Amino acid sequence: MSRWQQRPLLAPEILAEAKRVALDPVLARLYAARAVRETRQLRLDVEQLSPGEGDQGLLGLGAAAELLADAVRQQRVVCIVGDYDCDGATATALLHEALSLCGARALRYVVPDRFRWGYGLTPELVAQLPADTEIVVTVDNGITSVDGVAAAKARNLQVIITDHHLPGAVLPAADAIVNPRQPGCPFPWKSSSGVAVAFYLAAAVRRRLLDRGYLGAGAPHFGQLWDLVALGTVADVVALEHNNRILVQQGLKRLRSGRARPGLAALLECAGVEPAAVTAATLGFTLAPRINAAGRLEDMGLGIRLLLSQDRAEAAELARTLDELNRQRRAIETQMSEAAQQIVDDLPDCGHNLGLCVFQPEWHAGVIGIVAGRLRERYHRPAIAFAPVGDGFLQGSGRSIAGLHLRDSLADCVARAPHLLERFGGHAAAAGLRLRRAHLDEFVALWNTVLAERLTTEDLEESVFHDGPLESSSLDLELARRLEAAGPWGNGFPEPLFWGRFRICERKALPGGHWRLHLDDGAGRRFEAIRFRSPELPPGPWVEALYVPEVNRYAGTERLQLRLHALRNGEENGRTQ
């Protein structure tokens, strides 16, 4: 049973300022709970973006931009090495498009085959690079590719690393490294996405070409790249700190105004989403899964082609292909998730396992990350799902809970038993690894030993934080509109989640384990509500709910809808939270 707790007001000083500037009191309360200390932090115009260069800039950005600016002027062959997730795909497309706009004509890009070579710039991938490659630029990967960079240097290639993942003990011997998390980097926004780092590099290259007079009067503007930056940033679930919120907001403005690139416009049409209705949630739950479906089931090259396409007919065809792949992915995911839950439920000591590890020989390696995420949600435990990738190896993908840095826990395992993992990498919340099938049981035992040292009892008790109750009179369509406009909301800047007590008047089961409900607040007001992915509901009739007020758009109309995050039994006259 999860604990429901009201978020504390981390920055109460915003409440006083809110009165002076006539800021909506509900929004002021939300901002105070999200550590917004002054209204200046709410400004999301481009001018507020942190500069990439200067005293607080990205270490290595100048050197990388000089190399690429020279490459553009000399028409040297540049090969961009991407990644097979949405952040990597958008970063690849962005840098390719930006350099093309700057006049580069000798551009290539490759994405590792996750089933053959795994993640990043590996020696095996270097061997597959086009023979005429002169400069390699990684995006969303490379910071741990010590052997891959060495292989590239052995081919007399110049290497630029752009990444945002945590570095290892030794940095690769690249010609330039741009990563806000590398030692000594003063850039304050450590949660930047891979595509954001690529955007900063592209902007720095453009600036140097302008300064040298190479671009002339027809210098390109990079406004058309904002939708890529926003999509990759939200898709990678990085913390929406102020800088990231600016990046996402600029992309949302472009998408909502109907100026999306053809590929994203086609994906929105496939999903039945009007441009004006696009939010950060649309990026994360509608567009990103369709892009990711290419990397999960086939080849992320499909996703990159869609993002780069300027032909609407081609984009529409690629969007339909990705939409169908996403349907296939959902079917595979459902089967694997059900099997994984059964494995966990059948464990004799299920409740005592700190970390959940599941494996089936028939599982698809492209979907294991989603399965791990479902296990984490259901059991509130760190989880890793494994699938075979050939030659006796397993690929694992893990998802963690608050309180456990997943990548660091894997590094601890390697420090104690270096033979266990062939490779690993990732973040606090998500990580990937590869090991031999014969080592799986040993790894599971060691990982649980590490978790026992790192996790506390409090870590294993799930807490759901909410924003407290709303006055019933405040809960209307206009409030939902104001909340939507106050975004972008997401990881690190969570969307508003309110507490309330309601009586269930009507309930209707929908396909896929969803529910349509009508709720009464006890004062005569009724609300439409939706509950996703919930096999059953509390018997009621009175329930306590955590909900998000949102605008339900359908057939040109707008109505208030409560999206129910959690429900539990509640008494009619029970105590208020």
Please report, for the domain that includes residue 100, its CATH number.
3.90.1640.30
- Tell me, yes or no, whether 392 and 435 share the same domain: yes
**CATH code, 410:** 3.10.310.30
- The residues pairing with 559 across neighbouring beta strands, listed in sequence order, are 552
Q: What predicted TM-score, i.e. pTM, was given to this entire model?
A: 0.91
pLDDT value at residue 513: 85
**Residue carrying structure tokens 């190479």:** 214
pLDDT value at residue 576: 39
Alpha helices, DSSP H only, in 168-261? 194-211, 226-235, 242-256
**β-strands 463-466, 3-6 pairing:** parallel
- Tell me, yes or no, whether 147 and 172 share the same domain: yes
- Asked whether the beta carbons of 225 and 259 are under 8 A apart, the reply is no
pLDDT in tens, 102-118: 999 999 999 988 777 77
Show the tokens assigned to 495: 């969307």
Is the pLDDT at 185 greater than 50? The verdict is yes
Does residue 541 have a cis bond before it (omega within 30 degrees)? yes
Helix, strand, or coil (residue 159): strand
pLDDT value at residue 349: 66
- Tell me, yes or no, whether 187 and 254 share the same domain: yes
φ and ψ of 137, to 5 deg:
-125, 120
**473 falls in which pLDDT band (50, 70, 90)?**
confident
Is the pLDDT at 575 greater than 50? The verdict is no
Mean pLDDT of 314-338: 96
* Residue 335 lies inside a defined structural domain of this protein: no
Is the pLDDT at 46 greater than 60? The verdict is yes
**292 falls in which pLDDT band (50, 70, 90)?**
very high
pLDDT value at residue 577: 42
Among 454, 476, 496, give the residue marking a domain's end: 454
* Residue 332 lies inside a defined structural domain of this protein: no
Give the count of domains, the chain: 3
pLDDT value at residue 352: 63
pLDDT in tens, 381-403: 999 999 999 889 999 999 999 99
- Tell me, yes or no, whether 138 and 244 share the same domain: yes
- Percent with pLDDT over 90 in the chain: 83
Domain that holds residue 391: 347-454
Among 405, 435, 454, give the residue marking a domain's end: 454
Among 286, 321, 356, give the residue marking a domain's end: 321
* Distance from chain centroid for Cα 42: 22
- Tell me, yes or no, whether 85 and 220 share the same domain: yes
Is the pLDDT at 571 greater than 80? The verdict is no
Mean pLDDT of 344-361: 84
pLDDT value at residue 260: 97
Euclidean distance between CA atoms 69 and 557, whole angstroms: 50
pLDDT value at residue 350: 55
Euclidean distance between CA atoms 562 and 544, whole angstroms: 13
| Between residues 238 and 574, the one the model is more confident about | 238
- Tell me, yes or no, whether 25 and 95 share the same domain: no
* Residue 88 lies inside a defined structural domain of this protein: yes
- Asked whether the beta carbons of 228 and 247 are under 8 A apart, the reply is no
Closest CA to 465 of 532, 544, 565: 565
- Asked whether the beta carbons of 382 and 406 are under 8 A apart, the reply is yes
**572 falls in which pLDDT band (50, 70, 90)?**
low
- Tell me, yes or no, whether 55 and 135 share the same domain: yes
Helix, strand, or coil (residue 563): strand
* Residue 340 lies inside a defined structural domain of this protein: no
Helix, strand, or coil (residue 249): helix
Residue 95: partners with Cβ closer than 8 Å, 6 or more residues away = 80, 137, 139, 198, 201, 202
**CATH code, 496:** 2.40.50.460
State the average pLDDT for the chain: 93
Show the tokens assigned to 274: 């009007």
- Tell me, yes or no, whether 479 and 385 share the same domain: no
* Residue 576 lies inside a defined structural domain of this protein: no
Distances (CA, A) of 329 to 263, 299, 317: 20, 13, 18
Is the pLDDT at 158 greater than 50? The verdict is yes
- Asked whether the beta carbons of 304 and 111 are under 8 A apart, the reply is yes
Is the pLDDT at 470 greater than 50? The verdict is yes
pLDDT in tens, 495-540: 999 999 999 999 999 988 899 999 999 888 999 999 998 878 898 7
**574 falls in which pLDDT band (50, 70, 90)?**
very low
Distances (CA, A) of 541 to 364, 406, 418: 42, 41, 56
Euclidean distance between CA atoms 38 and 53, whole angstroms: 26
pLDDT value at residue 540: 78
* Residue 249 lies inside a defined structural domain of this protein: yes
Euclidean distance between CA atoms 575 and 544, whole angstroms: 10
Residue 476: partners with Cβ closer than 8 Å, 6 or more residues away = 560
- Tell me, yes or no, whether 274 and 405 share the same domain: no
- Tell me, yes or no, whether 53 and 181 share the same domain: yes
* Residue 272 lies inside a defined structural domain of this protein: yes
Mean pLDDT of 347-368: 86
Is the pLDDT at 306 greater than 80? The verdict is yes
pLDDT in tens, 92-106: 999 999 999 999 999
- Tell me, yes or no, whether 368 and 490 share the same domain: no
pLDDT value at residue 216: 79
* Residue 363 lies inside a defined structural domain of this protein: yes
- Tell me, yes or no, whether 23 and 67 share the same domain: no
Euclidean distance between CA atoms 562 and 551, whole angstroms: 9
